[in-house]
Amino acid sequence: MQQNYQSITWQDDHLVILDQTQLPLREIYSDVNTIGQVWDAIKKLKVRGAPAIGIAGAYGLYLGVRDLESKNFTSFNVELNRWIEYLKSSRPTAVNLSWALERINQTVYANKDKDLEEIKEIILKTAKTIHDEDKRVCKKIGENGAELVEKGWNILTHCNTGGLATGAYGTALSVILHADDDDKDIHVWVDETRPLLQGARLTAWELKQAEIPFHMITDSMAGSLMKQGKVDMVVVGADRVTANGDTANKIGTYSLAVLAKENEIPFYVALPLSTFDLETDTGDEIEIEEREPEEVTHLAKTPITPKKTDAYNPAFDVTPNKYITGFITEKGIVEPDFKKNIKKLFEK
């Protein structure tokens, strides 16, 4: 399976990101040289999708500490933790960001007796490892998920969960790519995903490249299609899954899950283990990012509401575990009882 684009690349001494705010009209690769630029790219969704945010954050942390001239480990560690908190503040919901940063923090601590220049190199190496691992993990998610797909199925997906949102292939989209690769003759319904149109702009762009048949639909069409028997499976990604299986994902996911249950359609969440947050018990405790109202009142910078219209813009919602058929992970499919089986996943 060939993918001719990379959302994130480490090139010599800096990051190169495919600016996702410009797609599908322009394919612009931007140089990112400082931690401030990484923060800004994450905040503005130039790089987006839970695993991709984690990868970018990891490289960003290296860019932040690279030129530090700390006298000893203690003062270096204070600066490191300051940068970690700074990067975490860019977007709160996707746990992959704090997961990647904490992984680096722990690796640094385990090497605290080493020379500071060597520690900086270890940080870069860990960022590269997180990036490479994500590519392998996403491939495995796709292979595992494709086994659930039957020939000729119509699969509905929401937001963008492809190579753009990860190191490569994606999560939910990797399932779709691999099912297609296995000659399952699938067709995809792509939710446009209001308000920022990740489905229309990005998933459609990725499916075109992969030459997989699809139709774009507005978000509100999904229920009607399900009722007419035109959807065989829903597969989405996740930004954070708590210990009991409650799932935060792009706003609109909850409605899809309820509609899928009502219409007896399997509803799967595809994700890497790095998206589980076992320290949080239920979805009620997840912080949901609220974004600027202009994203709702404007379309591509053009106003679509009367002047001074108030708008509410939560970027994610939480789907209670009872609506989820299963989780597709790199370690296989997790079925209910989720609390027990998610725990087991990390014990293996």
Query: Is 91 assigned to a binding site?
Result: yes
Query: Is 198 assigned to a binding site?
Result: yes
Query: Is 48 assigned to a binding site?
Result: yes
Please identify which residue in the block is written with the tokens 């799932």.
Answer: 247
Name which of 28 and 110 has its Cβ closer to ligand MRU: 28
Q: Exactly one of 19, 191, 219, 239 is catalytic; name it.
A: 239
Nearest distance from residue 170's CB to ligand MRU, in Å? 6
Is 239 assigned a catalytic role?
Answer: yes
Please identify which residue in the block is written with the tokens 């609506």.
Answer: 323
Nearest distance from residue 319's CB to ligand MRU, in Å? 12
DSSP string, 19-44: -TTSTTT---EEEE-SHHHHHHHHHT
Q: Is the CA virtual torsion 179, 180, 183, 189 positive or negative?
A: positive
Residue 33 is classified by DSSP as -
Query: Would you tell me which residues interact with ligand MRU (CB under 6 A)?
Result: 45, 48-51, 94, 159, 161, 165-166, 170-171, 198, 237-239, 249-250, 315
Report the C-alpha gap between 165 and 168 in whole angstroms: 8
Name which of 37 and 160 has its Cβ closer to ligand MRU: 160
Please identify which residue in the block is written with the tokens 């027990």.
Answer: 340
Report the C-alpha gap between 287 and 10 in whole angstroms: 30
Q: Is the CA virtual torsion 220, 224, 230, 234 positive or negative?
A: positive
Query: Is 250 assigned to a binding site?
Result: yes
Name which of 120 and 201 has its Cβ closer to ligand MRU: 201
β-pairing, 316-319 vs 247-250, is: antiparallel
Nearest to 94 by CA among 343, 334, 287: 287
Tokens representing residue 100 in the block: 């990647």
Query: Is 172 assigned to a binding site?
Result: no
Nearest distance from residue 303's CB to ligand MRU, in Å? 22
Contact 293, 310 (CB under 8 A): yes
Nearest distance from residue 55's CB to ligand MRU, in Å? 11
- The SS3 assignment for 15 reads strand
Name which of 116 and 288 has its Cβ closer to ligand MRU: 288
Name which of 119 and 237 has its Cβ closer to ligand MRU: 237
Query: Is 26 assigned to a binding site?
Result: no
N-to-C CA span, the chain: 29
- The SS3 assignment for 142 reads helix
Nearest distance from residue 173's CB to ligand MRU, in Å? 8
Nearest distance from residue 220's CB to ligand MRU, in Å? 18
Name which of 24 and 111 has its Cβ closer to ligand MRU: 24
- The SS3 assignment for 324 reads coil
Query: Is 230 assigned to a binding site?
Result: no
Binding site residue list:
48-50, 91, 198, 249-250
Positions marked active-site: 239
Binding-site residue numbers for substrate are 48-50, 91, 198, 249-250
